[in-house]
Structure 1
Amino acid sequence: MPRDVSSVLHRVFRELEGPAVEAVKSFLDFLRSQRALSPATVRSYGADLAQWLLFLKDLLGRSRLEMDDLSEASLRRFVFHRHPRLAKSSQARALATYRSFFRFLMERHGLERNPARSLRSPKATVTVPAFLDVDDMSAFLDTLQRRALAPSAPWIAVRDWALFETLYSTGLRVGELVRLNHAHIDMHEGMVRTVGKGAKERIVPIGSKALEAIGCYLSAFRNQWQGPYNQEALFLNARGGRLSDRSVRRLLTERLREAGQWRPLSPHGIRHSFATHLLGSGADLRSIQEMLGHAGLSTTQRYTKVDLDRLMSVYDAAHPRSRKEGP
């Protein structure tokens, strides 16, 4: 199954037919070829549309879906059925999918109006994902380093140190991290080249500690590995293939627990730690935006909430005129 086809969409292509299904296929092809969206984004779009088509199959009692079945009434009924079970962010993403799909049909297939245009997106609540403070992050990475440099340490232990040092040092998305090849890292200049959302290439710095860890990892791998392996990929799994983003999530949970940190944290949480620590040390938002690969500054600005909360806490605790008086 292609990386950008979810299991639910695969089921749609297997069980359903008709012009509506072909329109979805055409739309996803457009996203891949014309808009150059990442496989993960295409997968999300496809999954949202697949859920609607399966709902229509059950509602109408047939597996052939016509274009007329993609009506505003059927979409509203589906949204009323499914969206209360979704987080607000997922609701907003799904509605954006429907609007984009119908805009495509208007431009390419002569649809006269957008049935999703009148649907309101839920008011988003700005949330700041979990992250580690500087001390906890340093303690975590130091634990990985000690294990990696222990006598007779397996190359996988050294890989884990290099993996999470690189993630924290660069602020890459987990998908960007696992797609790194040897050719993407300039060990001499301390730079990493990556391709992010929208197939946009960017160059980000990588610190000396991460470069040291990568060097140790490559040396340990060469000394211990026997057999064929993926010679392009930087981070490899135990079978010599490219490490997957799912494996990185699992490894992070396991290594955090082994280091005595039980707080749930995703690889994206390390990316947030990267940005928050830079901001707290005086880096400007525009530079952080460029390093993170955010298309707009508004996405980066969520990190200011973390830093402002910290500053207000310090101010309230230290300033003699900040005390909140009771009624």
Structure 2
Amino acid sequence: MKQARVLTQAEIKRVLIYCNGTKYAQRNRLAVLLSHYAGLRVGEIASLTWEQLLDANGDIRSQFYLAAADTKSNEARLVHINAKLMAELVAATKLTKTACGPIIRSQRGGHFSANSLAQVFARIYAGVGFKDASSHSGRRWFITELAKKGVTSKTIMELAGHKQLSTTQRYIEVTDQMKAEAVQLL
């Protein structure tokens, strides 16, 4: 099976611009950003609630736990939020009528199923013209970008919630530019 496409920074910007023109702009932007900047799987995004992200003062936490039941590996894990995703989440709390329940709400206001949210991703990427991108593209981008920036494989493995390093390594897309930069380190 072919792996999901890893987008470039410019392509991610195109996707976010496209999202801004959709009926559910904020929801779609958040889904894309949670995938790319937190490395979450589509099922993890679908299960995510404001209660997990907000502290007692109603502020976004810099890290939160995914419950074991919401992860593929059935093991809880700590997710860290970077500055870009934090800014988007803070903006979303100001626009959200109620900061409780699902972060990514279906048209009826409840949780998406993982499959339905994957279809939302497919429509977004198709709308931009990326036929080979999927809900897993953001996760692959997250892992590849961390590897490009020299983050240790063990750290990436833990951030991704993988049990085996070999799984993490399969996600990393190695480009000719990465290889050229690598040999220049010698």
* Interval of TM-score (by shorter of Structure 1 and Structure 2): 0.7 to 0.9
Residue of structure 1 in register with 2:178 after alignment: 311
Q: Which residue identity does 1:268 align to in structure 2?
A: H
* Residues 134 and 277 in structure 1, CA contact (< 8 A), matched pair in contact too: no
* Deviation at residue 267 of structure 1 after TM alignment: 1.0
* Residues 79 and 159 in structure 2, CA contact (< 8 A), matched pair in contact too: yes
Residue of structure 2 in register with 1:254 after alignment: 123
* Deviation at residue 188 of structure 1 after TM alignment: 4.2
* Residues 158 and 213 in structure 1, CA contact (< 8 A), matched pair in contact too: no
Residues of 1 paired with 2:13 and 2:146: CA distance? 14
* Deviation at residue 169 of structure 1 after TM alignment: 1.1
* Residues 73 and 162 in structure 2, CA contact (< 8 A), matched pair in contact too: no
* Residues 37 and 82 in structure 2, CA contact (< 8 A), matched pair in contact too: yes
Cα RMSD after superposing both structures: 2.8
Is 1:172 aligned to 2:40, yes or no?
yes
Q: Percent identity?
A: 23
Residues of 2 paired with 1:211 and 1:277: CA distance? 18
* Residues 289 and 300 in structure 1, CA contact (< 8 A), matched pair in contact too: yes
TM-score in terms of structure 2 length: 0.79
Gaps of 5+ in 1: 1-86, 88-126, 149-153, 224-229, 320-327
What SS class does the counterpart of residue 192 from structure 1 fall into?
A: strand
* CA displacement 1:32-55 (0-9 Å, x = unmatched): xxxxxxxxxxxxxxxxxxxxxxxx
Note closer, same or farther for the CA distance 1:247–1:213 as it changes in structure 2 (3 Å cut): farther
Gaps of 5+ in 2: none
TM-score in terms of structure 1 length: 0.48
Residues of 1 paired with 2:11 and 2:139: CA distance? 14
Residues of 1 paired with 2:177 and 2:3: CA distance? 13
Instruction: Report 1:240-319 matches (<5 A).
Output: 240-258=109-127, 260-304=128-172, 306-307=173-174, 309-312=176-179, 314=180
Count of residue correspondences: 176
Q: Which residue identity does 2:110 align to in structure 1?
A: G
